[in-house]
Chain A
């Protein structure tokens, strides 16, 4: 019996996991401490104990939900990207590239404009539905025809669908001055407006998504070898794929519903994590979730710092971090594989 080597790189996976966790905690702390108003240690501690006596404590209390949301949303997005990349065996799979965000936005805008839906509860469903339909649609059309869906077909199908959907969205929004502002601020993608109530609303969806991904993690490893090999190894390919998709869509749909479209987290994080821990999905999914949370926190903090006293929304920040990364991935790939 040959023992497989676990180690890859300078640290073992458990140690890397601990390090990542520590980084995450540190970032959470910075997210609470950093903002337009400078706060002292006492104020932070006080606010964490539920006091709201000074302006500083009030500010910290305001920052708490957005920090929680950034962690939850970031891990959901990172995980969802990792799942999508595994299922499609496609390095460019990402909720943003797939057009999922725009799909969710389109459904929400329709709900706002035509059905008078303005409660968060209702449009969470709409966003998830929109995200799901768009994701499946893009995947479906890119896998029609000969050969597997190459990254090129995939990205083009996503980009084209996004273009079409955003044109529809504009068509809905244009005659309606009343909803334009809301739709636009939602489209920016942000965690700034978070409240614990809104987080609670999507939490069930996210929990189901996390659980389902935990179930399929191991099965995805055999899927990575190709459908035929996976079937040969005794895996129910359609089932595994279906569950993974569903959980990916739940995760990014629910996130999009409260945060608006946030692109590129699902693309960047799984790639970085793969460099760190290799291709075993059981580790990769955990790392992607943690990494996603870190990235979103960093993006949120950065957005607060660079354009003081106003804020740059996370969606914009992640796009500017993520797009160069996307380009880097494309340049790294060999042309034939595209």
Chain B
């Protein structure tokens, strides 16, 4: 009997060790991928810059020819892509886990469109720019998220209702955006359209600061709640009986995700489907070997950098990254809908 218990114990321990070592291993691989994408963005473009030259530029040396291309064109692009991708990836997966539905990512249920509409409004009507656009869209995004939450609150906020109401609100907001665009002058409109589909074309290095702050603040908040968020995957009732304060956790998830999305979207526009795609991809890779938030952030970063690279150099005309991720996301989305319906399953 005693032996038996010991055997069980070691099996449990083994399973746990295996899970965590798989997780660590995958994180390392993902980090390497991110670094690879980052260095490709830095060294490969219209012209090739050798890694040593790139390194010299990064260390602050003045390399004729390379300094401008790498330091002014490619570096801001790479840095902003990385940070925005991480923000979207983390925010998306947190929402998907919270609502136990991979289709319930912020870009589908209206949170993203809320921040977008606010930003469009700020740019076109209020003539704002830079930090004030970001601030305005964070506040509006939060307001939209809170009103979706409040509207779906009835005998407790049911996830299903939250998703549906999100879709309704987002339909309303989108028609508002269409209206705003129609009032804008033609040049603004094309510019706004480009911006609406998400692009890192106008990335500048100083924009990295707000992104970094929001990642540390909101991302950190999400990470500190990893365990509670994970417990939500077993249903609200089970989570609550395990001592998770479901309401508090929900509010934390909503606030930090909206924060991450709004700051990101105010700089690059809502890059289509990054928030939506990262979580399920992370899920496929990680399975149940650990938390999904960090992996999903890394995958988001990869998606944005690769999508941007494809849109820049591999297609006939130059497309903003959001169009590429949108097109990449579509087939996956259909696959996901079919799969979710078949299994009736969660993320």
Residues on A lying within 8 angstroms of B by beta carbon are: 92, 96-97, 141-147, 151-153, 155-157, 159-161, 163-165, 167-168, 170-171, 173-175, 177, 180-181, 184-185, 187-189, 263-264, 312-313, 315-316, 319-320, 322-324, 326-327, 330-331, 335, 338
Chain B residue nearest to A181 (CB atoms) is: B186
List the A side residues contacting B181 at CB < 8 Å. 184
Interface of chain B: mostly helix, strand, loop or mixed: helix
**Given A145-B342, A146-B344: 10 more A-B contacts, CB < 8 Å:** A144-B342, A155-B167, A163-B272, A163-B333, A167-B197, A167-B330, A171-B319, A324-B172, A331-B151, A335-B160
Q: Which of B108, B158, B167, B190 touches A97 (beta carbons < 8 Å)?
A: B167
- Contact in complex: A174, B197 (CB < 8 Å): yes
Chain B residue nearest to A102 (CB atoms) is: B174
- Contact in complex: B329, A92 (CB < 8 Å): no
B326 within 8 A of A: yes
Chain A residue nearest to B336 (CB atoms) is: A160
Known A170-B323, A316-B175: A144·B338 in contact at CB below 8 Å: yes
List the B side residues contacting A189 at CB < 8 Å. 175
How distant is the Cα of A92 from the Cα of B151 in the complex, in angstroms?
17
- Contact in complex: A151, B164 (CB < 8 Å): yes
List the A side residues contacting B32 at CB < 8 Å. none
Chain B residue nearest to A262 (CB atoms) is: B175
Known A188-B179, A330-B164: A141·B338 in contact at CB below 8 Å: yes
List the A side residues contacting B151 at CB < 8 Å. 327, 331
How distant is the Cα of A292 from the Cα of B297 in the complex, in angstroms?
46
List the A side residues contacting B317 at CB < 8 Å. 175
- Contact in complex: A159, B326 (CB < 8 Å): no
B216 within 8 A of A: no
- Contact in complex: A316, B176 (CB < 8 Å): yes
17 residue pairs of the A-B complex, CB under 8 angstroms, read: A97-B167, A144-B342, A146-B342, A161-B334, A164-B333, A167-B272, A170-B322, A181-B186, A184-B178, A184-B193, A187-B178, A188-B182, A320-B176, A330-B165, A331-B152, A338-B158, A338-B161
- Contact in complex: A167, B273 (CB < 8 Å): yes
Chain B residue nearest to A147 (CB atoms) is: B344
Chain A residue nearest to B187 (CB atoms) is: A177
List the B side residues contacting A320 at CB < 8 Å. 172, 175-176
Q: Which of B101, B193, B197, B341 touches A145 (beta carbons < 8 Å)?
A: B341
List the B side residues contacting A338 at CB < 8 Å. 158, 160-161, 164
List the B side residues contacting A324 at CB < 8 Å. 172
Known A97-B167, A174-B197, A180-B193: A156·B108 in contact at CB below 8 Å: yes
